[in-house]
Chains A and B, each alone.
Chain A
Amino acid sequence: MRSLQALAIVAALCGIVMVAAVVPGFRPLLGIAVPYLALIVFLLGMTARVVGWARSPVPFKIPTVCGQQRSLDFLPHHKLESPFTSWQVFGRMALEVLTFRSLFRNTQSSLTAGKNLAYEPSKWLWAGALAFHWSFLVILLRHLRLFLEPVPRGILFLESVDGFFQVTVPTLFLTDAILVAALLFLLGRRLLDARLRYFSLPADYFALFLLLVIAGSGIWMRYFSKIDVVGIKEFAMGLATFHPVVPASAGVIFYLHIVMVGVLFAYFPFSKLVHLGGVFLSPTRNLPNNNRARRHVNPWNDRRPVEVHTYEEYEEEFHDKLKACGLLQEDGE
């Protein structure tokens, strides 16, 4: 049901956009106002979230590690799993951000023959996430060909690698196929696995449906309906140089694509998608495991000297009582 709620919201958004796009008077709103507004919301929202996190004190140094910490010389220190220096933390973060190391460590429990509890590594989520995120990045970078003039060589190179097989006309980009396959897999595992379905929320499905609409509309325009790309680049360049003009040749699906990307950007900072920034600020990942070498002071500690009551002072205070019950440690006794 929660998946249907999300589907209903995405479908309603699609319906509104597609009806509005039929009316020429609404097209500047959809094609120009929505992208600019979405970008402003995205930038301000992400900044506000990051500043909010940076204002939160970290009372303890809490890296979660799974390797030998730096210790005596004869114990081999696992530098990536239990980093000690900033550079080792950098390496650990790079592995996390670029290769999703913590998803790689996923294990799955199951009952073998209905009796014995067994744990085994499960790499499917890791593989699906990696396929989705990297394809999405490549697609995002490829879209820069529409926003940059002249088109940088790096973008052209990326296109030629992505279209390596030169099948279909226009050439099939592998990332388009991988992205859709990965999204369908990530959606399928939430829908088909009872445990995952139990704790999936509408927001989990919403992002997937939204991305599927974006990918589907883009694929439709490139491979099937064949949009006039020169007109689209003129439009995109207009946005990037602040002389926006709506494209004359574009149809309803184009506006669907643009507005849904706008929805994605505007929704980004206020949803789970904000892990784009959050992954860099996870205290369990970005802190070195050097508690025993360097003291971490809780930022909200009272900085005045702590009142201490030493043993000597205690003994002096209770001298007579201690002596009476024979507990006093005195010289010569």
Chain B
Amino acid sequence: MLYDAGKILAGLAIFLVLVTAPIWWNVATGADAQAPELVMPQDQGGCVLPSGEMRASHMELLNDWRDLVVRDGDRIMITWDGREKRRSLTASCLGCHSDREKFCDRCHDYVGVTPYCWDCHITPIGGAS
């Protein structure tokens, strides 16, 4: 026999629904488990680091660039395959990855990250979002 059965069952139901909420949320929104497709630039000679490294630690690289450029005025870097590149978000990064919405925002939105790049930097023409 269950004492206070109404309250107990209501409490248990709330608990079970809360714990399994991600399942219901994704059913309700019809979410897909697939990660978003990125639009990669063509014929640009490759990124400054191998893509695997860029994927995991581009935020660190951008942060280092900012410090080097703003504090030391150190603009020139050598890419992993020996090319010379200018340290610049707008000129170098967005020069190839020209569409912010299709390159940056897709993954950031997908994983719920809000980088503060755009607090200062403008989005170049062609990448309006």
Chain A residues close to B by CB (< 8 Å): 39, 42-43, 46-47, 50-51, 54-58, 144-152, 155-156, 159-160, 166, 169-170, 226-234, 237-238, 240-243, 245, 249, 277, 280, 299
**Nearest opposing residue in chain A for B7, CB measure:** A54
Contacts A147-B22, A226-B56, A240-B26; A231 near B114 (Cβ below 8 A): no
In whole angstroms, how far apart are the Cα atoms of A226 and B55 in the complex?
9
For the complex with contacts A148-B22, A226-B60, A237-B32, 18 further pairs of A-B residues with Cβ separation under 8 Å are: A50-B12, A51-B8, A144-B22, A145-B111, A145-B112, A148-B29, A150-B29, A150-B109, A169-B62, A227-B56, A229-B113, A230-B55, A233-B35, A233-B111, A234-B33, A237-B31, A240-B23, A280-B11
Contact B15 A46, beta carbon cutoff 8 Å: yes
**B residues 2-34 with Cβ under 8 Å of A?**
2-5, 8, 11-12, 15-16, 19-23, 25-27, 29, 31-34
- Count of B interface residues, CB-CB < 8 Å: 41
Interface CB pairs A-B, < 8 A, 13 = A54-B5, A144-B22, A151-B111, A152-B25, A159-B114, A169-B59, A169-B63, A226-B56, A229-B111, A234-B33, A237-B26, A240-B33, A241-B23
The reply to whether the CB of B107 lies closer than 8 angstroms to some CB of chain A is: yes
Say whether B8 contacts A156, CB under 8 Å: no
Inside 8 A of A146's CB, which chain B residues have their CB? 111-112
Cβ of B79 within 8 Å of any chain A Cβ, yes or no, is: no
Partner of A234 from B15, B19, B35, B109 at Cβ < 8 Å: B35
Contact A230 B4 (CB under 8 A): no
Residues of chain B whose beta carbon lies under 8 Å from any beta carbon of chain A: 1-5, 8, 11-12, 15-16, 19-23, 25-27, 29, 31-36, 52, 55-57, 59-60, 62-63, 107, 109-114, 116
In the assembly, what is the distance between CA of A309 and CA of B62, in Å? 91
Please indicate which of the listed interface residues A57, A228, A245 has the most CB atoms of chain B within 10 Å of its own CB.
A228
Do A50 and B113 contact each other (CB < 8 Å), given the known contacts A58-B3, A149-B26, A226-B57?
A: no
In the complex, what residue of chain B is closest to A146 when comparing beta carbons? B111
Which of B55, B62, B107 has the most chain A CB within a 10 Å cutoff? B55
State how many angstroms separate the Cβ of B47 from the closest Cβ of chain A: 15
Q: Taking the nearest CB of chain B, how far is it from the CB of A51, in angstroms?
A: 7
Instruction: Provide the residues of chain B in CB contact with A144, threshold 8 Å.
Output: 21-22
Q: B18 to nearest A CB, angstroms?
A: 11
Distance between A293 CB and nearest chain B CB, rounded to angstroms:
19
- Give min CB distance, B112 to chain A, whole Å: 3
> Which 3 A-B pairs give the minimum distances between C-beta atoms?
A145-B112, A149-B31, A151-B112
Bound CA span A299–B4, Å: 12
With A and B bound together, what is the CA distance between A121 and B3 in angstroms? 38
B22 adjacent to A233 (CB under 8 Å): no
Give the complex CA separation of A74 and B39 in angstroms: 76
Q: How far is the CA of A145 from the CA of B25 in the complex (A)?
A: 12
CB distance from B53 to the nearest CB of A (A): 9
Partner of A51, one of B2, B21, B22: B2
For A245, the chain B residues whose CB sits under 8 A away are: 33
CA distance A58 to B12 in the complex (A): 19
